[in-house]
Amino acid sequence: METVLPKQKTKRKWGRRTLWGVAILLVLAIAAFIAFNLYVARSLPETKGEMTLSGLSQSVEVIRDAHGVPHIRAKSEQDLYIAQGYIQAQDRLFQMDLSRRQASGRLSEVVGEATIEKDKYFRTLGLRRAAEASYNQYSKEGKAVLQAFADGVNLYIEQLQKSGKWPIEFTLLGYEPELWSPVDSLTIGKYMAFDLGGHWEDQAFRQYLLQSFSKDKAYDLFPSYPENAPYVISKEELDIEKSFAKAYIPNQFNGSNNWVVSGEKTESGSALLADDPHLGLATPSIWYQMHLQAPAINVSGVIFAGIPGIILGHNEHIAWGVTNTGPDVQDLYIERRNPENKSEFLYAGKWKKAKIIDEPIRVKDGKTIDYQVTVTRHGPVISEFAGASGKDTVLALRWTALDPSAELEAVLNMNRAENWDEFERALFKFETPAQNFVFAAKDGTIAYKANGKIPIRKKGDSLLPVPGWTKEYEWEGYIPFEELPKTINPKEGFISTANNKVIGDEYPYHISHNWAQPFRQMRIQEYLRTNKKLTVEDMQRLQMDEMNLQAKEFLPQFLHVLSSSASVQEEKALDALQKWNYIDNKDTAAPLIFNLWMQEIGNVLFVEKIPEETLKLFGGRKQAVDQLLRRALNGKAGPWIEEAGGLERVLMNSLQTTLKEIEKMQGDDVAKWSWGDYHQVRFNHPLSSVPPLQYLFNSNGSIPVGGSSVTVKAASYLNDGTVNHGGSWRFIMDLKNMNESYHTVGPGQSGHVKSKWYHDQADDWARGTYHKTVLHNPEGEKLVLKP
């Protein structure tokens, strides 16, 4: 009569079925996971053994060292650059293809409608048109290098066409890359000029200010440089005789640190050189480290994927590094259009016909967009990307990077230079982007030059858009090469740059209104002025230095203004700030409070007054906030602070908002708050924004880091705390031993997700760990490329 046993039997039977079902699903899931991993891994490049490569005249040896750095040794330069193109493609083909597509305005062909606006912008700028025009600026030798490199890339693409073992990114997006051309390399070079130079957005923003606010309020946000802030070249060293709304806006922190120290100040007695260019942090790195050796060349360093040669590094005689000069090399011209003919614009009393260029944009799974670009005598019309400033206005962009140029010739000559004179001659063809070059030689010479084409204007100073219908505002040439700012073996025994003002107002030419906040340069100079004999280890510590001199300047004054607070939580926060040593340590609360507070001060002043899309054009926002605060703290508050209720109210309102936001993120216990819980580097892959691909491509997760945008250890971040900008490559060298140099390339050398060199330097980047690279007798996995 009882039904217990049958029920128990049924339960047991159902339990077995469930277990079997779960087991089967688990086996299938594991099998699928293994199969997927095997499929992804099948495209890993060959790094050992022998391989036949058509086009080579003799065998080429490629040794990848413990960190995946390829050391390429060839018996001719033709073979060397074929091999360089092939090896770069092995590790970075998808990145190379994505880079040329972005710069050419062709992302929508493979991504879809999401990138149409970005493609319109780059088609309008015309970086690829400028690259095509630049090709004929190259010598026969330069063209041969470009072609050899392209041949090497294409040999790898052709191998993939036969094997079908494409990197997984191509499979996910459903396309195969086109063959490589020399113009592709030049287009990527032009993109780097875009990424590193130009301030047309600031001109458009200042025009908006004058259109929308009183003159006093508009001019309150115009750029100025703080008194007593350091220059690169002091007045005493100056010797002229001897010497966007829809726009894709480069990161405003695109700067860098570099310095060089005379042997008189070093333990080894030889010069020390350090460089860490600050660019976007992503997977793969924007830099690719290589060592190239042929009978007449032996050079090591980094290059942008898709370009031949070594742009930064050292050879057996010299070492060099760069930071961004940030000169005003762009002008916006307000053009008058003929109401009866939209393709004509007024100039010197006559209607001049503009070029109308068809730039059809193909869209994946969509219709081709018939897009046209209008190019006046000054440059492309970019009004649609200029926010409120472009409304009912025709704005054309004049920019040095859109002129033909031959930077690769300069790079190749820099690679062969043996002393300062040869290196400086090589710089003659490095026209864009303008860069601060620091240099050291085995013979003891240290030197600096701000190099590139910087325009001389008939009238105007690049603060605002200027009339395009008159000859008054034309460029009348460029600062002569021999008169660009330069110093050799200064008495102080070191030279440093950090995107700060290059030279004082006594210099007869205009360079820029847009300089970085001076705090990194101040800290570097403070460190290098020590009487201690400096070493490589000291240079490593300086590159990782987290001292926040912005906080050291402002925080004591803020605390004085806020002598009393309204809540217990505010008291605790202010107490943490009062006890802070001004180091942006990832494990402490004070950097979190201060850095977010400084950010919120700008929000309090601007967010409700300026449209969001237009505010994005304000590239000098942080510098402007600093200056507003300095004036207010000196009793001269301007209209932005006065209209927000005065300095005390601005500081208190922004602090209260900051504390509320931190409480949402990290709870209400100030003692448990930490900068690193918020401030984390991720090295995101371009496809990781598409769920669930972040789990495939961002395998290293998030890493808490110290530093900030104003520390020597640069670590700028997004609103969610993601560190996305900083020292993309760190390089240090003691010229006592020209065979050795020290590097970090975060997150790693390879762009292949299954490579052991994919994210192996991510933690190194966060901790400040360097690897040694040698010019002679490298060890590692050997691949022989045979003709």
448 with 429: CB under 8 angstroms? no
> Among 329, 335, 477, 456, which Cα is nearest to 398's?
329
Sign of torsion over alpha carbons 300, 306, 307, 312: negative
Contact in structure between 186 and 134 (CB atoms under 8 Å) = yes
Q: What is the DSSP letter of 447?
A: E
Calpha distance 284→375 (Å, rounded): 35
Query: Please, what's the largest Cα pairwise distance for the chain?
Result: 115
119 labelled binding-site residue: no
Residue 154, Cβ density class (10 Å: 0-12 exposed, 13-18 middle, ≥19 buried): buried
Quote the CA–CA distance of 465 and 35 in Å, as a whole number.
58
Q: Among all chains, which residue has been given the structure tokens 């219908």?
A: 469
Q: Tell me the two tokens of residue 63.
A: 């040794």
Structure token pair of residue 744: 């970090």
- The answer to whether the beta carbons of residues 151 and 57 sit under 8 Å apart is no
- Its sign, for the CA torsion 104, 110, 115, 117, is positive
Q: Is 331 annotated as a binding residue?
A: yes
Q: Is 172 helix (H, G, I), strand (E, B) or coil?
A: helix
Of 734, 658, 693, the closest CA to residue 266 belongs to: 734
Pair type for strands 312-314 and 272-280: unpaired
Enumerate the active-site residues: 256
Inter-residue contact 374 to 125 (CB < 8 Å): no
Dist CA 24 CA 542 (whole Å): 56
Helices 140-163 and 407-416, axial angle in degrees (round to 10): 100
What CA–CA distance (Å, rounded) separates 151 from 56?
A: 10
Between β-strands 341-347 and 350-353, what pairing exists: parallel, antiparallel or unpaired? antiparallel
**Structure tokens that stand for 46 in this block:** 């060959």
Which tokens belong to 509?
Answer: 């030419």
- Checking phi first, is residue 348 left (phi over 0); if not, alpha (psi -120 to 50) or beta? left
* 387 residue type, one letter: G
Residue 329: count of CB within 10 angstroms of its CB:
28
Q: What is the DSSP string of 631-688?
A: HHHTT---HHHHHTT-HHHHHHHHHHHHHHHHHHHH-S-GGG--HHHH-EE----GGG
Query: What is the rounded distance in angstroms from the CA atom of residue 361 to the CA atom of residue 271?
Result: 52
The 3-state DSSP class for residue 243 equals coil
Closest CA to 486 of 147, 715, 234, 200: 234
- Type and span of the H or E element at 150: helix 140-163
Using alpha carbons, select from 276, 282, 278, 324 the residue that is nearest to residue 301. Answer: 276
Pair type for strands 781-786 and 49-52: parallel
Q: What angle do CA 328, 329, 333 make, to 5 degrees?
A: 95
Q: What are the φ and ψ backbone dihedral angles of 300, each rounded to 5 degrees?
A: -135, 145
Say if CB 331 and CB 325 are below 8 A apart.
no
Which ranges of 720-773 would DSSP assign to H, the alpha helix?
762-767
Whether residue 487 contacts residue 235, with contact meaning beta carbons closer than 8 Å, is answered with: no
The answer to whether the beta carbons of residues 511 and 503 sit under 8 Å apart is: yes
Instruction: Could you list the residues known to form a binding site for Ca(2+), using ranges.
Output: 328, 331
Instruction: Could you list the residues known to form a binding site, using ranges.
Output: 328, 331
